[in-house]
Amino acid sequence: MSGKGAPELTVKNCGDLRVAVIAAQWHTQVMDGLVDGAVRALHDLGIEEPTLLRVPGSFELPVVAKVLAGRGYDAIVALGVIIRGGTPHFEYVSQGVTAGLTQVAVESGVPVGFGILTCDTEEQALDRAGLPGSNEDKGHEAVTAAVATATILRSVSEPWR
């Protein structure tokens, strides 16, 4: 999947939204880039006090997202890096986290930003991590998409705003 074609999102009136970022811990250098990008995006959007939680691996992201979705957050952002190895484990973890996060978002009505990199190599992940020299900034993108979606949902439920 190519990053070409990504929209330039403009998000307004979102500084009061409650946002939680959940980040896995595998592949430290890439994860650091994703988390920095997410924090930068939240700052750019005027969201000053986000919650940041670290979980062991990507597989643990959906259960934490589910609990947070029931605690009044307006948007949740999940960050993880899964790199293909020599066994089918990559497919199981990737499918588990993708299906789990989708289920949380659809069943709770709370948008979940999908900042999960599923890459064949660490080089591919570094290129998407928002680090100096990276071509893409997926942590920043995931926050912006989740917050943009939260503002859309709020405009539907509170049309007078």
Binding site, annotated residues for (2S)-2-hydroxy-3-oxobutyl phosphate: 86-87, 128
What does the alpha-carbon distance between residue 152 and residue 132 come to, in Å, rounded to a whole number?
32
- DSSP conformational letter for 137: B
93 binds ligand DLZ (CB under 6 A): yes
Assess whether 89 carries a catalytic annotation. yes
Instruction: Provide the strand spans (E) within the chain.
Output: 19-23, 51-54, 75-83, 112-119
Question: Binding to ligand DLZ (CB under 6 A): which residues in 55-74?
Answer: 56-60
Tell me which residue has its CB nearest to ligand DLZ: 57
CA-to-CA separations, 20 to 61, 105, 125, in angstroms, rounded: 12, 13, 23
Question: Binding to ligand DLZ (CB under 6 A): which residues in 100-139?
Answer: none
26 binds ligand DLZ (CB under 6 A): yes
Residues that bind ligand DLZ (CB under 6 A): 24, 26, 56-60, 80-83, 85, 89, 93
